[in-house]
Amino acid sequence: MVWTVDAQGWLTGMVRRPSPHHNERPALPIDLLVIHAISLPACEFGGPHIEALFLGTLDPDAHPSFASLRGLRVSAHFVIDRVGRPVQYVACSRRAWHAGVSHHAGRDNCNDFSIGIELEGCDSAPYSEAQYATLIELVASLRAAYPAITVERIVGHNEIAPGRKSDPGPRFDWGRLDRPAH
Which member of 24, 44, 51, 118 is catalytic? 118
C-alpha to C-alpha distance for 117 and 135, rounded to whole angstroms: 9
The pLDDT, as a whole number, for residue 8 is: 97
In a domain, 110, yes or no: yes
Q: Is 23 exposed, middle or buried (0-12, 13-18, 19+ CB in 10 A)?
A: exposed
Q: What CATH number does residue 56 fall under?
A: 3.40.80.10
In a domain, 167, yes or no: yes
The pLDDT, as a whole number, for residue 182 is: 65
User: Quick one: pLDDT band at residue 73, thresholds 50, 70, 90?
Assistant: very high
Give tens-digit pLDDT for 113-157.
999 999 999 999 999 999 999 999 999 999 999 999 999 999 999
51 labelled catalytic: no
In a domain, 53, yes or no: yes
Give tens-digit pLDDT for 19-70.
999 999 999 999 999 999 999 999 999 999 999 999 999 999 999 999 999 9
In a domain, 1, yes or no: no
In a domain, 149, yes or no: yes
Instruction: Check pLDDT > 90 for residue 2.
Output: no
DSSP string, 68-88: GGTT-----SEEE-TT--EEE
In a domain, 3, yes or no: no
Q: What is the mean pLDDT of residues 12-18?
A: 97
The pLDDT, as a whole number, for residue 178 is: 86
In a domain, 125, yes or no: yes
Domain ranges, residue 48: 15-176
The pLDDT, as a whole number, for residue 1 is: 77
Count of structural domains within the chain = 1
In a domain, 8, yes or no: no
The pLDDT, as a whole number, for residue 32 is: 98
Please, what is the average pLDDT of the chain? Answer: 96
